[in-house]
Amino acid sequence: MSNFEVIKQDKISSARIGRLITEQGVVQTPCFMPVATNGTVKALSSEELKEIGVEIIIANAYHLSQRPGVKIIQEAGGLHRFMNWDGVLATDSGGFQIFSLENVKIKDDRAIFHSLEDGREQSLTPEESIRIQERLGANLLMTLDYCPRRWDDQKEISRSTEVTIRWAKQCRQVEISPRKWLFAIIQGGISLECRSECTRALTQLDFDGYAIGGLSLGEPFCETLRVVRLVTQQIPWKKPRYFMGLGYPWQILAMVSSGVDIFDCALPTHIARNGSAITSQGKINIKAGRYRSQFQPLDPNCECFVCRRYTRAYLRHLFNRKEILGLRLVSYHNLYLMQRFMERIRQAISSGNFTEFSQQAKKEYNNRLSPKTND
């Protein structure tokens, strides 16, 4: 029996704190899910994720079904045991990944595509996607959606909305354990009409939660926000809302303020492998020459083991020599920082000063973090 408790709502914004009570444990929201596409959060161990305080991660059912295959993971006793993760586990259906392949064909009841592994033609129905996720042992499952490739192709967006609704219905009819969460993914690009239509149709199907997909694809951030504000108003208040694929702290603040509860993003570990650290003073790239002899931590305000024990100069040296330890340590720091950031958000909402916190935090983790944005 899925159970989401909204514990407190902010008086000024739509921000709220909640608890997602799952068969595998409780997740406090707003939360950030590190991405474990292949059943591993890149460069980090499951032990480190626990140490950092991560309560939930998200793996990718499509990728895992390709390699090592569902059968092996089932034989291992499920993905939790396979990857030695005892926290809550979400899986994405893989719609986003399938639609990024070449030559995807959309039939009414399935997607047809060519395997990246061996080029063979494969197909995936919404029902199969759910069954795969259940066999993997996920606690939180996602419907198969049609994620348009571009945010500004209205024709594809209309079609993706229509298909996404139809597939969500197919997913809804699959019988899964009532102890698992099934989230529907809302598509519709930046068209408020499509988003409304999709949200209305999916909420009528009464899913356990709702994800907002197909954003963060390059559209202006003000459009992203407009869509999220519309959608979160239409999703029943008691249902958790999940924004797929975000992001930087200042972006998360804007979304929390609009009532989003759950986030995921490969960004903190992705940029870490390139030497970029998220800090309370903005983003820094540790490979830059100016860090050569800076003997302070990556982030002087951070208490992670990396910041307590290693200097910028050492981290720069490791990157300079292409030493794996460098990207390990920065990945750890970035995820630690994201977890502490979400904690701070929850505390601020809890103590009724989210707006002040938000203004302050935007200054700290400031826009240098994402120079491309126009918000």
* Contact footprint for a copy of itself (CB under 8 A): 38-40, 42-47, 67-68, 72, 75-77, 82-84, 292-293, 295, 305, 309-311, 313-314, 316-318, 320-321, 323-325, 327-329
CB of 212 to a copy of itself, least distance (A): 28
User: Judged by CB, which is closer to a copy of itself: 51, or 364?
Assistant: 51
CB of 285 to a copy of itself, least distance (A): 17
Token digits for 158?
């209309």
Burial class of residue 141, CB neighbours in 10 A (0-12, 13-18, 19+): buried
| Residue at 101: amino acid letter | L
Q: Active-site residue among 10, 145, 264, 299?
A: 264
Burial class of residue 77, CB neighbours in 10 A (0-12, 13-18, 19+): exposed
Strand 56-60 relative to strand 88-92: parallel, antiparallel, unpaired?
A: parallel
Q: Kindly give the residue spans of alpha helices, DSSP state H, lying in the chain.
A: 46-52, 61-66, 70-75, 79-82, 95-98, 126-136, 154-172, 192-204, 221-234, 249-257, 267-272, 305-309, 312-320, 324-350, 354-364
Distance CA(255)–CA(170), nearest Å, equals 29
Q: Active-site residue among 10, 92, 208, 299?
A: 92
User: Judged by CB, which is closer to a copy of itself: 37, or 355?
Assistant: 37
Q: Is 264 in the active site?
A: yes
User: Judged by CB, which is closer to a copy of itself: 81, or 105?
Assistant: 81
Count the Cβ atoms, other than its own, within 10 Å of residue 165: 24
Q: Contact, 249 vs 263, CB < 8 A?
A: no
User: Judged by CB, which is closer to a copy of itself: 335, or 345?
Assistant: 335
Q: Contact, 63 vs 38, CB < 8 A?
A: yes
Q: Look at residues 266, 207, 253 and name the one whose alpha carbon lies nearest to residue 37.
A: 266
Q: Is 108 in the active site?
A: no
User: Judged by CB, which is closer to a copy of itself: 16, or 312?
Assistant: 312
CB of 273 to a copy of itself, least distance (A): 8
CB of 299 to a copy of itself, least distance (A): 17
Could you list the active site residues?
92, 264
